[in-house]
Chains A and B, each alone.
Chain A
Amino acid sequence: MKLARDDWFDLARKLDWTYGYVGERDVFPEEASGAPWLPHDAWAGWNEPFRTTYAEYVATQAQKEAAVHAVREAVGRPEDFQRHDRRWLSALKLHAATLPLAEFAATIGNLRAARFARDSAWRGTALLGALDELRHTQLPLVALHDLVKWDRQFDWTHRFYHSNDWVAIAARHVMDEMLLAADPIELAVATNFVFETGFTNLQFVGLSAMAHDVGDRMFETMLKSIQTDEARHAQIGPTVVRTLVAHDRARAQRLVDKWFWRHWLLFAVVTGFAMDYLTPLAHRRSSFKEFMQEWVLDQFARSLADVGLELPAYWPTFLESLDWYHHMVYASAYTYRATVWFDLAVPGPDERAWLRAKYPASWDALDPVWERVAERWRESGPGVEWYTHGTTPVGFCSLCQLVLCGGTPARNTAQVVDRDGRRYIFCSEPCRTIFEAEPERYAEHRDVVKQILAGEAPANLLELLRTHFGLTQDEWGKDVAGGDYPWLRR
């Protein structure tokens, strides 16, 4: 007799028992299971809203894999990628490097939850999440592998997290804390609640919509297929947060505040660059800020209210940075493009008009930066990369590890803090607050500048990016057009 899922599933979901030979705290120590430590009774009501059996899981996932595979067979050859605009390929390289191995770190984090989360149903859901993240690791690694022989920058799809590149240092700083080191409670808040219901939608659905408009069916299909997994396992988030709020509201609020800010900075770079600069203008449907409004602001604010939490105290700062932050970092990255593994573009007159229309509050102050860059290219002519490239060392934030790009061109928000005989510098008030709440987590970390000062990395820029970052000449970032823009020739 065939059984309906709801008839039998609970018999497989609730399997905690009262330990007799060891203690509950031995099986679920706080350092592995997370704070606050509560007896199992507090978690016994844990229910995943998105109920999926193992049989359904493998059937659905095999179907998804087959669908992606079919598209890959049809349009996944190197020559299919070669057809795309070089800027779009740059967006692809940025995404490809930052995601796959981070997804594997998420597999590790979810496996920890599959062992140490406090209810059996939660552990089972986290286990399927761990498998999902493995899929998100292997799918892009395999799909993009054949592009390496055609374009060495795609090698960074795997190499990025093994490198000392400054972006990799920043990315590891987030991913190590969020995925590799996190206990199941912090993991659920940081990834399932904040990341996967807001920011990954932005990256995976928003960017896949752009891939659709660009005509990149392979990337569109892969991103969308990945996000269908996230939509399922993200449901761990609210159910954990509710229990956390009931027992330790302050901790819940602090974790949400920390992780929203950390994700915002990271995605401003990864998604912000792609949406406002690297997607060809003709294929842009919305700006990064508009996508943020649709996918993060509306939805996240409502989700917070729903679990009984407040908007982070820094919300006005965040709203203001929506107009500035990714533009500031992009300008900085363009100026230091040889330190990254993808190419960057100068926005031309049409793009600048578009950016002005999308960012009326900030663009007039940002535009002169690009006017100066264009002027330098006019002076040097195409191909002279170093004439528009920075040479002096830049500073990095002691928390987010990204360049100090808080505020506006006229008002940088960097803050210096002296503590225990050491000097720390932060790009913004929220980064400082996060650091000061848990200095023992962050104080020992050393960014590129500290490594240079310690003599562990060369101070000369060219040597730094060759020997320390590991970028070869055919890999390091260049101007996407080599400065040869039609609008510059007049």
Chain B
Amino acid sequence: MIVVVALIVLLPFAAAAAGLLATRLGTRNLGARSEPTAYRRAAWFAIVPAAVSAALTVWLAAALAGGAGASEGRFWSELLPGRVEGTLTVVETGSVPISLTLRADGLSVLAGILVVVVALAVQVYSVGYMRDEPRYPSYSAFVSLFTSAMLLVVYAGDLIVLYVGWEIMGLCSYLLIGHWWEDRANSRAAVKAFLVTRLGDVGFLFGIFVLGSAAGGFRIDDVLRADIPRGTLVVATLLLLAGVAGKSAQVPLQTWLPDAMAGPTPISALIHAATMVAAGIFVVARLYPAFLAAPPTLDVLGVVAAVGMLGAALAALAQDDLKRVLAYSTISQLAYMAAALAAGSDRAAMFHLVSHGAFKALLFLCAGLVIHHVGSNLISHMGGLRRALPVTFWTMTIGFAALAGLPPASGFFSKDAVISAVEHGTGPAQPFVYASALLTVGVTGAYAARAWLRTFFGPARIEPLAEPPPGVAHVFDGREAPSSMLWPAGVLAVPALLLGLAGSAAGVEVEWGPAAVSLAVALLGAGIVYALWRAAPEQDPARLLGPFRVPCERAFYVDAAYAALIARPILRLARGVARTDARVVDGAVRGSGRATLGLSGLVRLAQNGNAQLYVTGLLAGLVLIAVAAVVLT
């Protein structure tokens, strides 16, 4: 069975290698048909392994469901009791050994299904979205690599193996966000994403080292079973938290995620739903016993989540770019998961992770359809699309309903699970987190309603753009997108709608009291926005924020603050270093060279080629030596 796990991870990797190396193999002499050939081949390379991986994952889930009960009483032990683990080899490093281990258990399979399904949907969707894109082969190969890396994180049985996947994801996010690197802003966003997540990864790596050296091994089971002193554990988990905050875009490392919208829309779906940001939450869930044994870390996580969810939701309310609305909502929803983890319920966090993955991927794919149609990212350019895009309208309505937490969509159940977990939490910060979560529910309803209404209702504001700016989307053609793009959205709408029912059928109980409260709050937020919109459909309902709107739109100036506090001083320092290098270090080197030349110029005055002068010097020296020999002896 472990071979199946390895295949699930390696198939997308092989697809990436094939996509990078083989798409243009032998197409040179095809002339004009070479580009379509490469495109078709890349599409096959992308979709078939992803589909096989998905099928294998489903098979693996079935096998685990019927497996022996070897779990340690974690939340998935009733549903998916089986587990497999296989070690390829153990690398002796001299101190702490690294074992190349893969493992699959209920948690892995839950996340793995999410990853492969979303990845498959994104690959199919990209075939239509990236048509006429000359770099489609490398794009699809990077998506495959991204998927493979995330699957490696999910199925890793060793912290170092996990870290490998973690880092490859960072690389892939850089490559894909900067896909349209011709535009300077896009490459800047890619660099920003890379640097910010790297910053967290430093902490993550050191956290792994602390855990590994304390436990005497990097195997996750060994680490979780080891008897690690509490102080060490707190330090290690806090360090890990830095990496989690970087990857999952939590405060204070959240700034890269909205800028990552510079990438193609399917990439946003992939990053926001299945891979990158899910990895942070997944790692916490994977190492949850260690985090549970370190309550200070959970308190920090709770505060971070409380600040992040409300702030990001408010920022989402004020954005005009549809993709940025969704980006801030991702930060906010990830903060919910973090809050659930902080409150002690990894079950709620994983439930929300999966349902959020489904509906956020759906939302991004639908946003891509809308943008594909309108030719602009800005909500103020949209409106009245309900009739032009019926399929998109209905699927996106499901997505927004799930996002706002309206029954019977999946978001209602998972968010309820999170909120009741937070309510039952015992940490010192829990009341604060709970208040923040409830408030955020209201704001979420408000911004979901705003985006929905502004996009699909009201007067049409479409202005067919003659020449779309590079890297945005395609020319307006008045029709809905091709079916290869509609199908993934339609398929994803099913889990987005029904996953909650499935979850409750699988044993997640709904606590109707808090559910009713949060539903009321969400409806209140949505209702306020609806009332405002109703009063003046042309105007942005975000005006309800009043003077608070501009700070929200600028995400509370966090970017500006980072620029002023960190980026600019570091740049100044770097310039100073460069100047010092040029003036002092290079100056010393060049100066010594010049001084040597000057001195040698002085010396070479004697070497002027006049043999008489040479002989004069020779004889003078001879006389001096003779005199010295006489005088000194």
Q: Is chain B a partner of chain A in the same complex? A: no
A interface residues, Cβ below 8 angstroms from B:
none
B interface residues, Cβ below 8 angstroms from A:
none
